[in-house]
Amino acid sequence: MNNAIRSIKGTHDILPEDSKKWQQLESTIRKITHQFGYEEIRTPIFEKTGLFSRSVGEDTDIVSKEMYSWEDRDGSSLTLRPELTAPVVRSYIQNSLGGKSPLHRLFYIGPLFRRERPQKGRQRQFHQCGVEAFGSPHPEQDTEVITLAYSLLSQLGLTNLNLKLNSIGSPECRLDYRNALQDYLRPILNELSETSQKRFESNPLRILDTKAPHEIDIIKNAPSITDFLSDEDQAHFNLVQSFLNQLDIPFTCDPTMVRGLDYYTRTTFEITSPTLGAQDALLGGGRYDKLVETLGGKATPAIGFAAGMERILLALEVEDSFESHDSTDIYIVCLDDSGLSVSIDLANQMRQAGKSVKLETLRRSMKAQMREANRSGATYAFILGENEIQNQTVVIKNLKEGNQEIVSTLNIENIINDLTI
């Protein structure tokens, strides 16, 4: 093993025992997005670097230090996608989706790449599921997206959820807020970290996103964005809150939540789970009414969210709410080489009838094959011994109930009809 090649730090294999959980998670995501009328979009894993710097923002952690970027042979700069909102917006513009229908509800599932320091719940390759709704500027669209996010987590069985809500207003009122924040921070500028001092001029709101404890303390007394919202922004935010109350979705307002990406306007939200430790955000999202225009499209309001799938699975493990479904129906035990062609035939016919079948391919002893049949979780073992092969029969043993019967292999229909799976 000494010279065996290992996976890259911060990346993980999803092994068969875990992939079942992933499939269940994905099928719940597909079920719920379908219930809300969202359709799947798949975009490439890599994009032009400028797509992310122009949307997520030059001063964000993601763009300034976490992207996997490289120079391609033609000199252009390419990047493994660190998030999916910008690629979906790019695709929306490039494929003129807005011209085809005034409203688009899209969802996605896929891998992303950020060069962060790996720890529990934080990887360098991770997966998100998310939605993006294009076309509606109204609070009922915000409510729909937030409700979808909340329903997804609760239908998966998570109960320990905190929904945090904020409005960061429109760019116009954010300008006044930016000035007020700079006025507050200017006298204590030298107490801030080097990164925050840089951000003071270029993008002071990013300072609110700091993780440094002493800066968090400083920010506690900073002016609040809530006091700078325009009447329209406030009315929009009020209506989102009242719709959520009407739907009995519990939330708290958190005026310091600015999110780590620059494209947001008005509503932002996060759902955290106290079971997760330091990396407690299960999902995050918000409205981004200017992004389509910024990336060269026709002005189009939009809102979405993305959830970290590894974190959802971690939280499900902690809350112990995963039900496992075993899927093998039949294990075929063959005790004599002369029965191999019959067993291959049987497996083939059962699969054509829609059953899931595992076939012994190691020619092991009867004991070992029966042990494997039980371990596989199969409902039935089909056992082909010397007698059965000679008599053109098979022993069908119900592994859950223990009873068994001998049936003819000449009438496959009868075998299929007798099975209770």
Judged by beta carbon, residue 130 or residue 339, the one nearer ligand HAM is 130
98 binds ligand HAM (CB under 6 A): no
115 binds ligand HAM (CB under 6 A): no
DSSP 134-153: ES--SHHHHHHHHHHHHHHH
Select from 47, 59, 61, 83 the one that contacts ligand HAM (CB under 6 A).
83
128 binds ligand HAM (CB under 6 A): yes
273 binds ligand HAM (CB under 6 A): no
Cβ-proximal residue to ligand HAM, closest one: 308
304 binds ligand HAM (CB under 6 A): yes
By CB under 6 A, which span of 47-55, 157-165, 277-285, 376-384 interacts with ligand HAM? 277-285
Provide the CB-side half-sphere exposure for 145 (13 A, CA). 34
Judged by beta carbon, residue 37 or residue 217, the one nearer ligand HAM is 37
283 binds ligand HAM (CB under 6 A): yes
Task: Give the contacts of 376 (CB within 8 A, at least 6 positions apart).
Answer: 328, 331, 358
d(CA 295, CA 318): 40
The pair of structure tokens assigned to 150 is 């909340």
305 binds ligand HAM (CB under 6 A): yes
301 binds ligand HAM (CB under 6 A): no
Helices (H) and strands (E) in the chain, counts: 16, 16
Select from 110, 137, 260, 385 the one that contacts ligand HAM (CB under 6 A).
260
* Cα four-point dihedral sign 13, 16, 21, 22: positive
Select from 21, 81, 104, 114 the one that contacts ligand HAM (CB under 6 A).
114
204 binds ligand HAM (CB under 6 A): no
d(CA 398, CA 330): 9
163 binds ligand HAM (CB under 6 A): no
81 binds ligand HAM (CB under 6 A): no
- Residue 268: which H helix or E strand, with range? strand 265-272
Judged by beta carbon, residue 5 or residue 278, the one nearer ligand HAM is 278
d(CA 345, CA 54): 59
Q: How far is the CB of 64 from ligand HAM (least distance, A)?
A: 14
Q: How far apart are the first and last CA of the chain?
A: 43
- Contact predicate 251/244, CB 8 Å: yes
At CA 11, angle to CA 146 and CA 40, rounded to 5? 40
Amino acid at 296: G
By CB under 6 A, which span of 120-128, 171-179, 189-197, 216-224 interacts with ligand HAM? 120-128
Reduced to 3 states (helix: H, G, I; strand: E, B; else coil), residue 184 is helix
d(CA 396, CA 140): 57
Select from 26, 116, 176, 319 the one that contacts ligand HAM (CB under 6 A).
116
257 binds ligand HAM (CB under 6 A): no
225 binds ligand HAM (CB under 6 A): no
For tokens 């905190």, the residue is 162
By CB under 6 A, which span of 12-20, 124-132, 171-179, 352-360 interacts with ligand HAM? 124-132
Judged by beta carbon, residue 285 or residue 301, the one nearer ligand HAM is 285
Reduced to 3 states (helix: H, G, I; strand: E, B; else coil), residue 382 is strand
d(CA 90, CA 298): 12
132 binds ligand HAM (CB under 6 A): yes
308 binds ligand HAM (CB under 6 A): yes
Q: How far is the CB of 41 from ligand HAM (least distance, A)?
A: 12
Residues that bind ligand HAM (CB under 6 A): 83-85, 114, 116, 121-123, 126, 128, 130, 132, 260-261, 281-286, 304-308, 310-311
